[in-house]
Structure formats: C-alpha cells, structure tokens
A and B are shown apart, each in its own frame.
Chain A
C-alpha cells in the first residue's frame, strides 16, 4: 500500500465539501467556545473564511475570519438555538 497522498478518488475531500458549501449557510466552530453561523462567500488555501450575515450573537454584515482557530465547519448548520 503506497504511503503517498494519492488517496482514493471515490472519497470525499474536505476542501471540496467546503467549496460546495459556497453560497449556503455554514456553521463554524472555533477552538475555543465561539461559533459563527453565516452564508459562506469564499475561502482560501489556509481556510480563511469570508462570510456575510454572520451571526455571532451580534449581527455582522461581512466578516473575513482568520482560519487559525477554526476547528470544525458544518455545512448547512444553523448552530445552537439562541
């Protein structure tokens, strides 16, 4: 079994899933206890995330979120009930 990163193409690549989520709601869970829900506008190689209509308890119009603290990305998620 080769140890190279040529993984089986029938599996789901993580960044492909994030890419499919562009234009939809996404719920982002940070390393600490912060979470953000919004509409995903885009992301880069380091998974910095550009959002609109972010809900972080306070409403934000657009936000460029630094990818350093992102732990999980949940497509279509609405986050916990507020």
Chain B
C-alpha cells in the first residue's frame, strides 16, 4: 500500500553531494552549483551557485549571461529538474526541417 510508505524518496540525492548539479525551476529559472545539502521535500543547498539568465524578449531562451549567487537555498516546491552538470550537452535543434539547396 502506498500509504504505508511515508516519505521515502524515489531518488537518492546523496550521491550528488559535493558534485556540480544543474537545477531548473518553475517559471524558467536555471541555476548550477555544488550540492551541499537537501531534505526530503527537495529543498536544496547549493554552493558557488551560478544563475543562467534568460533573454528578456523571449523568456524561454537562455543567453550567455550568468550571475554569481554564492551560497543559496533552493525551494523544493519550485524545482522541476535536477541533473549532473556534466550529464548534459547542447545538441542542434532536432525540430528544424532541413532546407533544400
């Protein structure tokens, strides 16, 4: 019965402690930092945090700009994705139709 399982996490963040991770938030913000701590509600403590800033005209497009935030608490209610920083790479847009000639 799921009710008996209480607050077990399906994902163990302790393997990411002291590693660089990338975090995406509701609302489009993205940040990256060293994971220093977390709780079962997915609140995170990140150190040496960088926020990736979005294009002011197109809120969904990332720019090259970043800002340093230092030691930060990320609200678990706002987190939508966590991945290792070196576990992702940009690929060419797979949705663009190839132009002929």
Contacts and interface: CB of A to CB of B under 8 A. Distances in A.
A72 interface: yes
Interface residues of B, number: 33
Interface string A40-82: 0000000100000000000000000001101111111100100
B36 A72 contact: no
Interface in B39-54: 39-40, 43-45, 49, 51
13 contacts: A5-B9, A7-B40, A14-B74, A17-B73, A30-B27, A31-B29, A32-B27, A72-B25, A72-B49, A72-B75, A74-B71, A74-B72, A77-B70
Interface in A1-20: 1, 3-5, 7-8, 11-18
Most buried by B among A67, A71, A77: A71
B75 A70 contact: yes
Contacts of A4: 8
Interface residues of A, number: 30
B43 A31 contact: no
Contacts of B14: 1, 7-8, 11
A60 B9 CA distance: 40
B7 A68 contact: no
The 7 closest A-B pairs by CB, nearest first: A31-B27, A12-B37, A14-B43, A5-B40, A11-B37, A73-B73, A71-B78
Nearest to B56: A33
A22 interface: no
B43 A70 contact: no
Most buried by B among A16, A31, A75: A31
Contacts of A29: 29, 51
A31 B77 CA distance: 11
Given A14-B38, A14-B43, A29-B29, A77 B75 contact: no
